[in-house]
Amino acid sequence: MYRLIFIIILTVFSTNLIAQKSNLKAYVDLKEFYHPEIGNYVEVQLQFATHSTSLKTIGDTSFQASLAVFLDIESEDSIIQSDAYVLNSPLYAIRDSLIEDFYEIKRFALEPGKYILKIEIRDINSPKGNKIAGTEAFQIHKMSDAVSISDIIVAEYAFRSESESIFQKSGFHIIPMFFNFFSTESNRIPIYYEVYNTNLVEDTIIGVLYKIINAENNKELEDFTTLNRFSTNDLIPNIKVIDIEFLASGSYLLELSVVDRNLNVLSSRSYAFERNNEVLSVIDSDNIILNPAFQESLMNDSVFYYLESLIPISRPAEIKNIVASLKTKSIEKCRKHLQAFWIRTSKIDSYESWLKYKNQVDFVEKVYANNFQEGFETDRGRVYLKYGAPSNLISRETSPSEYPYEIWTYNKIGVFSNKRFVFYNPDLVNKAYRLLHSDMVGELKNNAWPQILSKRNTVNGNIDNPNQNNMDHWGGNSNDYFRQY
């Protein structure tokens, strides 16, 4: 609901901010919740950019960030709640050089009213004494005596879990997302929310209505409206994935409303977000005149193969077009579709761009294909074709306690810097490396990757049964088009 951001990245809305000049980067969000036994409380969510901190070497194999965190919640110039502590990041292995941001959540029980959060963060390991500070006003609403709904948490990722941790909420382990911009690659918005006091309704069933509203004209996009029904209770937690694959670029409100059987609104909350969607429209390939050069570059028996190889670099809507052309089993139609794709993608040098991509497809076929997947169907092949060759590659084929794995590092992907992909081979055969984790937007994000990768026997399974005890998850925004295992 409230967002205080020290360093603004991919953020649409301005905030009040008092910060000193430093390299330290942190993101703070405030969410309002209620519990029948505790009452109202605010959840202070923090994300720390590890690369902006000073890392201290721990032993010979790891390093760690250490921050001093000071939190004050004031009301009418009086300090109501206060906390000060040292927060250590997870240990990062020096040899892997894969540095993730780390998170923190603090909860404060508060009576309904208006408050001010004051926060200061100091980098303990910094020789310059880097620190940042800011304030943010917020309000706690009374939610104890009527049907109400919590703030909406958009999840970076979430999964069912019974393990106790600061990220645990009603049976879900939730890592919050700190930006409200969704690019073409982000086709889902995974949200968590809670509904309170529906047992006060004279019915056994209530509904939650999900709407997407155009912020510019305040019109509801009816194609995106859905309804979930729940049995009434004093507390209803829920995770919902909002599909925005075909949502056009623009500014929107995601509105959640608790409704009765007659669709009367009992309570509502909203979440503002920006969408940039460059989904390609349907390619009109029927009127394409085949270029002799394109003709000669493809044998008839390879047309279907090379058209399908465009999937890793295609938008979701275009993938459906490619599949539709392939289903016709028409060589001429598929030739025209392939040529139309490159004319649309590279208008000036379409043929040269096609030949360059064809060479890359041939390369990944030689290097990454296995007994049951073409090269472009594999995770490594897909990533190579979509993002290019990695800037750096770490490969470990043998280890007494690790599955074979590779870590690919990209210095630059579009507007993003320093992105990494972790692939591993749990089957130990066929070069069938799978994407285990990436910090690239729109790719599979799995912060439990070290446990899955580094031990033969872990809580996630063992070498003979790698899926043992693995839990379902939401919010990874992973691309599953080529997962045929």
pLDDT of res. 281: 44
Tokens 């949200």 belong to residue: 191
At a CB cut-off of 8 Å and minimum separation 6, what does 147 contact? 195, 196, 197, 198, 200, 201, 206, 258, 266, 267
What CA–CA distance (Å, rounded) separates 376 from 363? 9
**Model-wide pTM > 0.75:** no
CATH number of 1-144: 2.60.40
Task: Of 267, 196, 279, give the one whose Cα is nearest residue 234.
Answer: 196
Averaged pLDDT, 423-444: 85
pLDDT of res. 124: 94
Better-predicted residue by pLDDT, 316 or 485: 316
Average pLDDT of every residue of the chain: 83
Give yes or no for a contact between 383 and 435, defined as CB atoms under 8 angstroms apart: yes
pLDDT of res. 200: 94
Tens digit of each residue's pLDDT (9 = 90 or more) over 293-352: 888 888 988 999 999 999 999 877 788 888 988 998 999 889 889 988 888 877 778 889
Task: Name the residue ranges covered by the structural domains of the chain.
Answer: 1-144, 292-368, 381-474
pLDDT of res. 430: 75
Tokens 């969408």 belong to residue: 275
What CA–CA distance (Å, rounded) separates 431 from 424? 9
Q: Is the pLDDT of residue 83 over 80?
A: yes
Q: Is 343 helix (H, G, I), strand (E, B) or coil?
A: helix
What CA–CA distance (Å, rounded) separates 123 from 402? 34
Q: Is the pLDDT of residue 479 over 80?
A: no
What CA–CA distance (Å, rounded) separates 158 from 22? 32
What CA–CA distance (Å, rounded) separates 99 from 117? 29
pLDDT of res. 470: 41
Tokens 């497809």 belong to residue: 361
Give yes or no for a contact between 260 and 220, defined as CB atoms under 8 angstroms apart: no
